[in-house]
Amino acid sequence: MHMHTKHPAIVISAFSLFIAIYLSPCIAEEAAQEETHAPAKETTKQTLSREEIQTLQNEMIDLVKSGDEDAYSRIGKYALDSNPQIRRMSALALGYSQNNKEAFNLLVTLAHDESSDVRGSAVSSVGLLGNERSYDVLAGALEKDESNSVRGKATLALGKIGTEKSVNKLIACLKSDLPVVRSNAASALGRIEDKKVIDPLIAALADPDNETRRTASRSLKALTGQDTLATKTQDMSGEEAQKEWQEWWNTSKGTFAVVKKERATRPPSRSAKNWLEKYDADKDGCLNETELQTAMDEMPKGRFRGESPKDTSFKSDVTVKTTSGSETKLADLLKGTTLIYYFCSKCPYSIKAEDFIKKLYADNKDRGIHFLGISASRDTLEDMKSYLAKAKFGFPVVLDEKKEFATRNGLSGTPAVLVIDKDKKTISSYRGLADDTRSQLSHELTALAPPK
């Protein structure tokens, strides 16, 4: 049945009055709620310089540590910023929150961010908080995240929780289809002071992935203190090493006690300090990406995030050898802002970084940033030429045959990157080129020479 009225204007006026009196407050309240939960306005320009990144990150960390009542509401605005660099910094800063519930909830949100860099930093910080909900977040990232890098970081973060559930998950990760997950699981288990991880690590010595085998060996050495056995088996095949370790374990497990190590809280952590000492002592080796990533996660203001060195003078008065075999001064090859890529053709981490460096060059070669490759002294001239024929970098490469460049500029491992300005001063340095480092380096080059 339809109702009709002879006075439609009166009905409309009454309806308007109803809206004004009863619904306007509701609409206003909803609008306020939407404003509260809306993404924060962009706090800075979309691409930050290295100095701006460092300053803002330090401010966030100090804010989290301050314990101010409004600290997490302020960090929450950064976590919703449109700039992924800022969201990622907020995720790193929240790792200092001493297991605060508000911080954890923000990290859960950031662990589902559209940027894999942000998600990776978030899961690393979730591991540092180590509350009863951390396991579920990390297990979810490990099983569902589309980024292999994030899944690898979630694996490392599981090792920081230390519960029986997380240890069992790490042991299961040694059978993952992803090499980065298996390798990081072997690394994380090396910090678990429980003899039940020894058998799974011995089994991992026969893993088809070289890095997983090496990491399992290092973890066994750290947990057992069997330096002699580790040295004896380091050049053996996986099956041979596994057999040697298993024979030792069969006779020792009954009376064996895991080597207990002092643990310190960040910043910086003892493991990061130990890694830095190992790096400085290894004057002719390749950087280990897994250990490097762990150190970086624990030292957001550390040496591997493109920091500006105290001594900015770059030693360019050194002799290098060109592909033709002639010697020249490095200074004569530098033109304006230059990225120097220090590598070794025999280093697996240099080889792994090859595609990234080529893409970085392609993205920046027309923007006024010059690239120069320097091959480490472990290479011969023929080694370098053979490698370059396959790598096809596209930019000039010379050989540090006399090791002058590495020695005078404090480089003791490959790969590494130095960014040099037009006055031949060091702007920043990057060691290892793990995922976080790559993202930071890409952003820095964009800031130095914005796209035209």
Residue 418, beta-bridge partner list: 340, 429
User: What CATH number does residue 215 fall under?
Assistant: 1.25.10.10
**Cα–Cα distance, 424 to 419 (Å, whole number):** 9
Residues 390 and 341 in one domain: yes
Assigned domain for 200 exists? yes
Residues 95 and 25 in one domain: no
Assigned domain for 297 exists? no
**Cα–Cα distance, 286 to 238 (Å, whole number):** 20
**Cα–Cα distance, 142 to 440 (Å, whole number):** 24
Residues 168 and 154 in one domain: no
Assigned domain for 176 exists? yes
Residues 326 and 441 in one domain: yes
- Residue 107 has which token pair? 């990290």
Residues 156 and 199 in one domain: no
Q: Is the dihedral of CA 187, 192, 193, 196 positive or negative?
A: negative
Q: Looking at 110, 132, 161, which one is the last position of a domain?
A: 161
Scanning the structure block, which residue is given the tokens 């490698």?
A: 387
Residues 325 and 440 in one domain: yes
Residues 157 and 193 in one domain: no
Q: What is the pLDDT of residue 399?
A: 95
Residues 153 and 219 in one domain: no
**Cα–Cα distance, 214 to 68 (Å, whole number):** 45
Q: How many domains does the chain have?
A: 4
Query: Is the pTM higher than 0.75?
Result: no
Q: What is the pLDDT of residue 258?
A: 65
Give the angle 9-11-16 at the CA atoms, nearest 5°: 95
CB 108 within 8 A of CB 76: no
Assigned domain for 5 exists? yes
Q: What is the pLDDT of residue 341?
A: 95
CA dihedral 54, 57, 58, 59 (to 10 degrees): 120
Mean pLDDT by 10 residues, the chain (452 residues): 43 42 38 36 56 75 75 85 87 77 88 92 86 86 91 90 89 93 92 89 93 90 85 88 92 74 41 48 49 47 40 80 93 91 87 88 88 92 92 94 87 84 84 69 74 54
Assigned domain for 266 exists? no
Q: What is the pLDDT of residue 5?
A: 43
Assigned domain for 296 exists? no
Residues 57 and 111 in one domain: yes
**Cα–Cα distance, 325 to 323 (Å, whole number):** 5
Scanning the structure block, which residue is given the tokens 């702007």?
A: 427
Residues 421 and 400 in one domain: yes
- Residue 404 has which token pair? 């002058």
CA dihedral 54, 56, 58, 61 (to 10 degrees): -140
Residues 240 and 131 in one domain: no
Residues 116 and 69 in one domain: yes
- Angle between helix axes 148-158 and 134-144 (nearest 10 degrees) is 150
Q: What is the pLDDT of residue 324?
A: 92
Assigned domain for 303 exists? no
What is the domain range of residue 235? 164-260
Q: Is the dihedral of CA 226, 229, 233, 239 positive or negative?
A: negative
Q: Looking at 238, 260, 282, which one is the last position of a domain?
A: 260
